[in-house]
Structure 1
């Protein structure tokens, strides 16, 4: 007889949001695999429950090594409960490897649904929620971050990102550069906690606000791109978007093709815009030199 893997959603802030089933699963599981055993202890104390099974750590540093051990326990009939620090396992948290291993062995996987920072932020953002995509955390390195954002520049669905407070200003600045300074967004901070805050506005405005050292857990929701053909971009904006992609490491040919696809215009139009802007810049430099020499 095989066991069962249970993915348990945990509160993202207010412990009162814990689903009623969570306490029962914590008490009855043969093994509780927790991202942080200290946080698990605080959660069980708040819920007034004591796990009877074995408690083990399961976090990014040991996830690869511990997965086979837990998969073997499942195969032998154990009921394994997986919990992370907040929200649903596998969503930017440990869990995917264990789910994949259980599925590969034909072991049943179920979930205790719980609070979600992604859905909560979407609902509070004031932006369209009928279609969205979750992008998780952006890369830490500036070039890689710009490249990832460049891939999403033409995405028409609402975008959701997780971000750490000390990188928020840099991320919002990069978003304003790639998506456009006036693209609407919402920064959702400390959701369901005492100091919950949702700040809405254009990306450039939010980037300036974030310079004040924002604290707490952050979810950023960004408006999707306008449909091709509904946004008329001048030569300067087309050239700027190409330049952003080039700075992120793309070759000019690929950057021009990508911008043309996003804007719904011929590649030749984007190419001409790049040439015109460069000629204008060179011309201005020459004029400045003549003025200085004169």
Structure 2
């Protein structure tokens, strides 16, 4: 009963002031937000997922958490230029999905090696946002993602983060997982096994020393790898190698799949870049990717809850 009561209150709140924006030329009255119907549907799914997930206490706690997140998002979208409240992700599974290497991405002897994939096998309309390298260190990006409660994962290369390790420590303090993208961002198949191992294990050591944890995830630079890359990664303690199905920029999206669309479980790549490299800033990129994700009825979930 508690879970249903909270969900009802949540739905009422979302369909009220939290999901409305002034109409053109209006100063007082509000119109239903363009994303209200999609968000209500997603919230109903959240409640059903919570009911299936476990005891009533944990269900109620999860729905309460969703309510707080959605209220915070609704309060923050205006200041960050979003037109729609990001949709809530369902409760993470009690057991993570089993991961296989994507067909066509295999290497010889790879069955026992960390899986390489572009999409996590899920049925829910969720995607995962990942950010690579660490060149741009825009404080507005951390603040924006924190206020909007958008989960993401960072894959870091030491040669570009070494001038400001503290920036990524602040990111970690916000709950962001920091993963391995090698020391020097070199083309891995062009290196010997030993040199690949130095790139990967060296960055594992750096991240453990700096941030207290050896990452379980590794992304090879440019998405290029061979059997030695995966064997070296495994030796360094890597459990999985997530690549990407789509890439986000401030002014457009790029797609791996022929249909140029999102799919349940897709991993989205973007980079720590700014106006020197892009036609926009990191907050501009967030606005672009969140418009695409939300318009298509997807929520952004936390990769580490599934992988």
Fold similarity call, TM over 0.5: no
Which of structures 1 and 2 has the larger relative contact order (alpha carbons within 8 angstroms, sep 6+)? Answer: 2
TM-score calculated relative to the size of structure 2:
0.24
More strand by share: 1
TM-score calculated relative to the size of structure 1:
0.25
Point out the structure with max Rg over C-alpha: 1
